[in-house]
């Protein structure tokens, strides 16, 4: 369930510019521009400053520790056999399609939805199979539920994979104005990331 959020100027400007870009493309604007594949939220989610823990044991907040121009946030778990590895593979492939400037402006973060089993060591080993720059986060179950709820991700202890598989885009204003679903391809991610970084 989406919670009401307050808007901040930068996030609103980003949403408006993306919406205008989509509209112009549909009306025969720049034919060479790739269509935007992500879903733009009219009411961006506020990203909580709740402290989680990264795989080095350091405190990490999706609001306060995300200093890149774009942070992609995904909730998944190590023992997932289908959607999680597919999404992470697509994200890893997308990163290889970016030029150095774009790549340096993006972080990819996975928050475990199964903290009872996903130790920091297991999470680090898992993410390294995709990209050793990916950031893994954990905490106690209740804290992860709280963070997930703020981003419209419901987490069930008995079914760690029973939540939405969206990838949220977090901007420098600590809002998430856009998300991608599990069917997004590497080329679509790469094109969207480049578009977002150009607008930011």
Is residue 168 within 8 Å of 148, Cβ to Cβ?
no
Tens digit of each residue's pLDDT (9 = 90 or more) over 68-109: 999 999 999 999 988 999 999 999 999 999 999 999 999 999
CATH class assigned to 9-199: alpha beta
How many Å apart are CA 182 and CA 197, to the nearest integer? Answer: 21
* Residue 155: per-residue pLDDT: 86
- Residue 158: pLDDT band (50, 70, 90) is confident
Has residue 59 got a pLDDT over 60? Answer: yes
Mean pLDDT across 164-176: 92
What's the whole-model pTM score? 0.84
- Taking alpha carbons only, the member of 155, 122, 142, 171 closest to residue 8 is 171
3-class DSSP string for 67-131 = CCCEEEEEEECCCCCCHHHHHHHHHHHHHHCCCHHHHHCEEEEEEECCCCCCCHHHHHHHHHCCC
pLDDT exceeds 90 at position 199: no
Q: Where are the domains of the chain?
A: 9-199
């Amino acid at each position: 369930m989406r919670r009401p959020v307050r808007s901040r100027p930068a996030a609103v400007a980003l949403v408006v510019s993306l919406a205008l870009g989509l509209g112009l493309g549909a009306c025969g604007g720049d034919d060479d521009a790739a269509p935007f594949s992500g879903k733009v939220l009219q009411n961006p989610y506020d990203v909580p400053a709740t402290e989680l823990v990264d795989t080095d044991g350091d405190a990490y907040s999706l609001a306060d520790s995300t200093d890149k121009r774009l942070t992609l946030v995904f909730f998944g778990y190590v023992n997932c056999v289908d959607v999680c590895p597919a999404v992470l593979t697509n994200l890893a492939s997308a990163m290889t399609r970016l030029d150095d400037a774009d790549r340096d402006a993006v972080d990819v973060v996975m928050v475990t939805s199964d903290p009872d089993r996903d130790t920091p060591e297991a999470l680090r080993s898992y993410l390294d199979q995709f990209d050793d720059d990916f950031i893994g986060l954990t905490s106690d179950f209740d804290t992860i539920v709280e963070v997930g709820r703020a981003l419209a991700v419901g987490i069930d202890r008995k079914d760690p994979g029973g939540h939405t598989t969206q990838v949220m885009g977090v901007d420098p204003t600590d809002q998430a104005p856009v998300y991608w679903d599990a069917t997004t391809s590497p080329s679509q991610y790469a094109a969207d990331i480049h578009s977002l970084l150009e607008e930011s």
